[in-house]
Amino acid sequence: MNGNYGWGLPIQASTFAKEIDLGIYAIHGIMFAIFILWSVFFVYLLVRYRARPGVPSEHWETGTLQSMIPDLIVLGIEICLILFYALPAWSRIKMTVPPEGKSNVVEIVAEQFAWTVHYPGADAKFGRSNAALVDAQNPAGLDAADDAGKDDVVTVNELHIPLGKPTVVYLSSKDVIHSLFIPEFRVKQDAMPGMKIPVWFEPTLTGKFEIGCAQLCGIAHSIMRADVFVHTPEEYEKWLAAQHPQTQPY
């Protein structure tokens, strides 16, 4: 699906993308309306009350309440936006994480200029990892002693997820603050070192999408990208099986 980016918002490829876009379009609609009204009134005032010889200026004053009508209108709009849109959507998107039983759980560890993705494999349990064992063949530092890690799969800069069920990503970082940003899914969450933050999204389209880093993380911040492959469930199982389980060179 890459490549069909235009000047507007990218295509909506996750369940809550529609909700976020609704908010963006609605707010921009309100903004244009307010701006147009104010501009017309502003230009009218400039033309009507420009300095003309012999026409003195006359002061007019209104009660405080009457002068605050535009502010009350803006406040009313904002209260509606908060109550009916922001609070419910925020609690749905950020504050609740779908149950791990019914969702595809993945661990992403951001580091300076790469995304290490760690899949629990068939047993849905993550093997213990240890920084001391991190090297080229073992980017996630999987500990061979732990049997849960036998069927784990580790990919770098590639995230493979199945369609049809939500994916819960446990996001953390090795060194500095990065930010997982998937434009098509409308997902963005800072990867904070020392914290493991759950982020969830449910894809609605299959295909290849792009992950970018949205927080300045050093000199190669702009080339720290990765790809998301959304497979149909069968394709995903095939892909998972094809990955040889992560063997630990002794």
Calculate the alpha carbon distances from 3 to 8, 162, 187, 210 in Å: 13, 21, 19, 10
Residues 188-247 that bind other proteins (CB under 8 A): 188-190, 192-198, 210, 212-223, 225
Buried b (16+ CB within 10 A) or exposed e, 197-230: eebbbbbbebeebbbbbbbebeeebeebebebbb
In angstroms, give the least distance from the CB of 228 to other proteins: 12
At 129, give phi and psi (nearest 5°).
-120, 160
**Binding to other proteins, residues 133-152 (CB under 8 A):** 133-134, 140-141
Instruction: Give the type of residue at 194.
Output: G
Q: What is the rounded distance in angstroms from the CA atom of residue 229 to the CA atom of residue 210?
A: 9
Q: Select 143 or 235, whichever has its Cβ closest to other proteins.
A: 143
Residue ranges in 13-32 that form contacts with other proteins under rule CB under 8 A: 19-20, 23-24, 27-28, 30-31
- For residue 238, the minimal CB distance to other proteins (Å) is 26
x-or-dash pattern for other proteins, window 76-105, by CB under 8 A?
A: --xx-xx--xxx-xxx-xxx----------
- For other proteins, which is the closer residue by CB, 205 or 214? 214
What residues between 38 and 77 interact with other proteins by CB under 8 A?
38-39, 41-42, 45-46, 49-52, 55-62, 64, 67-68, 70-71, 74-75
Q: How far is the CB of 76 from other proteins (least distance, A)?
A: 10
Q: Using CA atoms, how far apart are residues 152 and 213, in angstroms rounded to an integer?
A: 25
The torsion region of residue 85 among left (phi > 0), alpha (psi -120 to 50) and beta comes to: alpha
Count of residues that interact with other proteins, criterion CB under 8 A = 104
Please identify, using beta-carbon distances, which residue of 57 and 102 lies nearer to other proteins: 57
- Candidate residues 122, 144, 148, 177; the one interacting with other proteins per rule CB under 8 A: 177
- Cα-based angle 116, 176, 224 (whole degrees, multiple of 5): 50
Tell me which of 110, 154, 169, 187 binds other proteins, using CB under 8 A: 187
Give me the 100-129 binding string for other proteins, x by CB under 8 A, dash otherwise.
-------x-x-xx---------------xx
Largest separation between any pair of C-alpha atoms in the chain: 97
Q: Left, alpha or beta for 210 (phi > 0: left; psi -120 to 50: alpha)?
A: beta
Our CB check for other proteins shows the closer of 86 and 241 to be: 86
Q: In angstroms, give the least distance from the CB of 235 to other proteins.
A: 22
Asked if residue 94 lies in contact with residue 85, where contact means CB atoms within 8 angstroms, the answer is no
Give least dist CB 155 to other proteins, A.
16
